């Protein structure tokens, strides 16, 4: 699910700087972010940007794929933690992913949610998160009736809400996590 990355060290550095600058610009300005601003933030010329990303859509997709790759890697990074801690850590990382996806959504899904890139990424992050939920359920730490799609939708819904009071998103995440934790019937 990775985008073809340059092989030369200097080209790879420029590619990575462009991805980071684009993520930042799209998060701040959404679809109003200009390619010229992204190149400037990355410290490269516009020609370098176009050599790596011949179209704006190619850049948007590369940022999205990079974010999904990072989300999938984070599942591997937390896997050694206790079952509930691993699931919660991955879901917190998922909140960050949702913020980036929201910033890219208008351009990313211009053709609908049925693009090959979206389907591949969707399948990848679900494949990364499903074992964490299953392990938490097997350990008796997460509700046995929870399904990953339900959990992802719940966390994404909270992440997308505009925060009207300081700490509101964190409080709502904590409530969602409390609801996801398993408590044997009759326990407090």
Q: Check residue 119 and give its pLDDT.
A: 83
For 105-128, the pLDDT digits (tens) are: 777 766 665 677 878 888 999 999
Distance from C-alpha of 181 to C-alpha of 146, rounded to nearest angstrom: 10
**What digits encode the pLDDT tens for the residues 138-166?**
999 999 999 999 999 999 999 888 877 88
Query: Residues 172-184: pLDDT tens digits?
Result: 999 999 999 987 6
Report how far Cα 120 is from the mean position of its chain's Cα atoms.
Answer: 14
The tokens describing 120, both together, are 């591949």
- Computed over every residue of the chain, the mean pLDDT equals 89
- pLDDT at residue 116, as a whole number: 79
Task: Please measure the distance between the N-terminal and C-terminal CA atoms of the chain and give it in whole angstroms.
Answer: 44
As given in the structure block, the two tokens for residue 24 are 């930042």
Asked if residue 82 has pLDDT above 80, the reply is yes
At residue 114, the pLDDT reads: 63
For residue 104, name the pLDDT band (cuts at 50, 70, 90).
Answer: confident
- Confidence tier at 30 by pLDDT (50, 70, 90): confident
Tell me the fold of 56-180.
Tetracycline Repressor; domain 2 (1.10.357)
- Reported as a pLDDT band with limits 50, 70 and 90, residue 29 is confident
DSSP string, 141-153: -B-TT--HHHHHH
Averaged pLDDT, 29-51: 93
Alpha-carbon 154 to chain mean position: 15
């Amino acid at each position: 699910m990775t985008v073809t990355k340059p092989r030369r060290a200097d080209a790879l550095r420029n590619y990575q700087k462009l991805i980071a600058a684009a993520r930042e610009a799209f998060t701040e300005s959404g679809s109003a972010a200009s390619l010229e601003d992204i190149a400037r933030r990355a410290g490269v010329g516009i020609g370098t940007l176009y050599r790596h990303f011949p179209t704006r859509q190619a850049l948007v997709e590369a940022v999205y794929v990079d974010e999904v790759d990072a989300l999938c890697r984070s599942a591997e990074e937390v896997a050694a933690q206790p079952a509930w801690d691993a699931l919660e850590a991955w879901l917190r990382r998922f909140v960050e992913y949702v913020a980036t996806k929201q910033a890219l959504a208008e351009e990313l899904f211009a053709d609908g949610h049925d693009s090959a890139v979206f389907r591949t990424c969707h399948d990848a992050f679900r494949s990364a998160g499903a074992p964490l939920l299953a392990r938490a359920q097997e350990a008796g730490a997460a509700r046995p009736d929870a399904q990953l799609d339900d959990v992802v939708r719940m966390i994404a819904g909270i992440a997308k809400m505009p925060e009207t009071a300081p700490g509101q998103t964190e409080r709502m995440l904590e409530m969602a996590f409390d609801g996801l934790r398993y408590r044997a019937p009759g326990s407090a």
